[in-house]
Structure 1
Amino acid sequence: MARTKPNKISVKISLLYAVLQLLLTFCFFPSASFAASVVLDWDPSTDADLAGYKVYYQANSSALPFGGSGADEGSAPLDVKNVTSTTISGLDPSNSYYFAVTAYNSVGTESVYSNIIEIKEAVAPSITVTAPSTTAIGTVTIGANASDNAGVTAVRFFVNGEMAAEKSSAPYSFEWNTASLTPGSYSISAKAYDAAGNEGTSDVVVVTVAGDTVKPAVSVVAPTAPLSGMVALSASATDNTAVAAIELQLDGAVILTGNQSPVSYTLDSSAVANGSHQLCAKAYDVAGNAGDACVSLFVNNPVVDSIPPVISAFGMPASAGALNVPIESFSATDNVAVTGYLVTESADPPAGNGEGWSASAPASFRFAAPGTHTAFAWAKDAAGNVSAAGSATVTITLPDTTAPAVSLTLSNSGSTVSGTVNVSLAATDDTAVARLVLYVNGKMQGSSNMSSFNMEWNSTSVADGSYTFTAKAFDAAGNAGEAVPVTVTVSNVRELSLLDALTALQVACAKIIPNAEQVTQLDVAPVVGGKSAPDGKIDAGDVLVILSRVVGKK
């Protein structure tokens, strides 16, 4: 029978240092070794036939079943009898171990494994800090050599006990910028970590920071001739450690800031007043030392034209029959010269450097859609000044070429009709429906100047047979649309008489053979739900139904 497994196990670890082995190792090998023991506790099984417990262990793998070896107590499983705690000793601390417990009864039947506990390896990483020299100036590289039996997962660097950097993979190093630090001694250390959380700490390396008092050397480059338009300016700086920032100043106002040398800047000289100006470059290093250099500039830009052109004439016809409308007049004047003409449908002033401008006045303008619209005329000069708008309003009416859409509907369902037939016509058009006409077999039956109308057609006024209904709709432009034709068969049943009853009786008695028309007229039985349901033959039932109708019975 199956055994009840222990509910859970807990674990305690202690390290038993083998002093004699340690001393011998130091004599013969370059590394230390030590043994580890694990104390396991678990909840007792509630099985009435409990005989004892077995402890399973295995190194570096959780794959079942556990088959570990190397413990002082022997290979797995270890029979610990009927106790709920045991110590496993002699384990290699450089390995991770997995433990589980089973219970067994008096006949040796064993339970499934308890919960599995992992004990991670306990060997701390080894780490050593390296530095380029005992004196640091500017930015120096601080590095570390780290190793571990299972692998290093992270290295952290510390300066005077404060973490300065962290690296997750080799090479383990970081750039230490000392330029802004106070001169003096600084303690450098590092810690290495493995996946089990073991931590190794390096020895402390003392580095002396010398400090920086040398300011950067700065040069500035600008044209010496009188300046106009866009002007290229540049500056550069060098330092005994590193340039941290460099800026350009025009008449004391900062116009550019950069964090590396050289820097360049394009000055729009038209944005400053004509005359003399001072351009300076100032550079800083990380220690806060500053150096500068200045040159003089002379700006001499021509006076800018700020007077826009004036539209003197703009005209278009009041009405048109096409989207492309001729321009009857378009002229403009300027204090210098008109260089561009433009017509838009928007009242918003266009940009002088935008698209669509022409060197001469356009002869026509195309509107986006029919209707009443206003066109706006603009003129510009070489300086990009744009005039106020001239305007003209045009009403565009395009020819109507779209035919109306027509629908034709008969109230009688099916292809055979009789009696009065209700006919419905409906039409739509992009402008308006002027007339609707109904035709039967090509002959007009009725018309209306509305977009829809209904009429009754008396099928008894025509002979039985096939008739085709059509409809046409017309708009004011004469465009005509035609509905899908509907073809029906007119079949009006004539009134029965005593002669019909006698003929039916002769057919029922096999005295005569009926023709097709007689079968259609005389086959009226049986009657289902008050209506004839012809069964394809003429018999006594048909005679009785005909006599009933003749004498006025239903």
Structure 2
Amino acid sequence: MDIRRVAAAAALITSLLGTSAAPAFADETVDSQGPVVSVLWPLATVPNVIGKGFQSITADATDPSGVDRYTWFVDGAQRSQEQYLHYDFGARQRTTTIEVWAWDLAGNHSVTTFPVTVDAEAPKATAFSPASSTLLRGQLRTATVALKDRSVVGGALLVSGPNVTDTVAPFTGRFPLGAEGPQTLRWYVTDVWGNAGYVTQTVTSDNRTPTLKFASAPANGAKVKDSVVIKAAATDRYGIAKVQLLVNGRVLAADSTAPYSFTLNTRKYGKQKFKIQLRAYDKAGNATTTAARTWHR
């Protein structure tokens, strides 16, 4: 905007007024710039992103002379002469260029250009809990999925469980464990534009206890002395986590590497009888315990 100050002739003023007053000035404002345009997005928190199909974007222009009209261009083609653009952005993920031309009442115009991403894809999973391939035991378990989206995630429904959609992160669902073996969990995920799809994770159901026995140890009722070596044989379909040695019901030692072996100093128990047991845990947390063997010195 130009401010032109036109001064009256000092001599003429002096002549007319008969004084030596200072020259008077008249201010003339000339509008030479186009409107200032801002864009109102459907999702204020996610500018420059729009959903697929028909969507609307609004221009908000300000100008000292007043705003006269608008023209919208999408990828160089004129699409609207309203304050808003209502346009079919299609069904594929892409980036397009939009221009807003705005004129004021003085005939000046401005051009605002910006890229717009058309979000046509469903959210993607970034993490699962429990992690894929985790061994699980029990009957009913909880699963959680972390999602990301170019816009805003709408919700997630664990198809394997109750028909309840979680709309607040972290997205959680309950599911029953199936028969022994791998189990696929399917999540139906959506974003605020209605883009939807499935993400999956695989867990393994394991409710079977490991097999366990004394591989080498004195028999039940045996008389022992000094140090005794106790060996265990433990197996499980998905692996053994650890084997424990129990004396009188209390854990005395543990071994997590096969072959499982313990050395027990029997002198610590004097002349009284004491009970020996083995307990094995598999990698899912299932446990089995042998029958007790009673020894004496």
Q: What TM-score do the two structures reach when normalised by structure 2?
A: 0.48
In proportion to residue count, which structure has more helix?
Answer: 1
Which structure has more relative contact order (CA 8 Å, sep 6+)? It is 2
In proportion to residue count, which structure has more strand?
Answer: 2
Q: Which protein is bigger by CA-based radius of gyration? A: 1
Q: What TM-score do the two structures reach when normalised by structure 1?
A: 0.29
